[in-house]
Structure 1
Amino acid sequence: MPLEKRSLTLEQHQTSVALEPEFWAELEAWAAADDTTITAVIEEIDRQRPTSERLASSLRVAILTRLKEIASTPAS
């Protein structure tokens, strides 16, 4: 599956991120669930990532971590 590249501004710096469409879909769902924007979600992940780690990798790990947390939460 080809990567989908998107441009965005983080902390007043223009950047681009290439992710698989499935990861973009999860970021969109995350933003909708938090009633915010994809950029706001990415900014928060960016602030928490180690400086040596690539943004795309940090996004994938954060999405995976979130999905695992959701899967382990008992349904109410």
Structure 2
Amino acid sequence: MAGSSHGHTPAAWTGVTIAFIGFLISGAFTVLAEPLGFVAGLVVVALGGVVGLAMRAAGMGKQKPPTTPEAPAQS
């Protein structure tokens, strides 16, 4: 798995870090029984996904391998 470079990009690290912080926020406010803080943490989790996708779209995600052109059909 380590050879596939799965998730070893700035987009992946940033998105997961933001989502993790959101989970921490939601967990803390769950213990404190504060629904508004819990929902705010869920918003941060969703924001992590949006930031990760935006960074991938900006070229900071895993690059797709170049495609090889198909050989012309012989008749």
Regarding TM over 0.5, the answer is no
TM-score norm. by structure 1 comes to: 0.31
Q: Which has the larger radius of gyration?
A: 2
Higher normalized contact order (CA 8 Å, seq sep 6+, divided by chain length)? 2
Considering fraction of residues, name the structure with more helix: 2
Considering fraction of residues, name the structure with more strand: 1
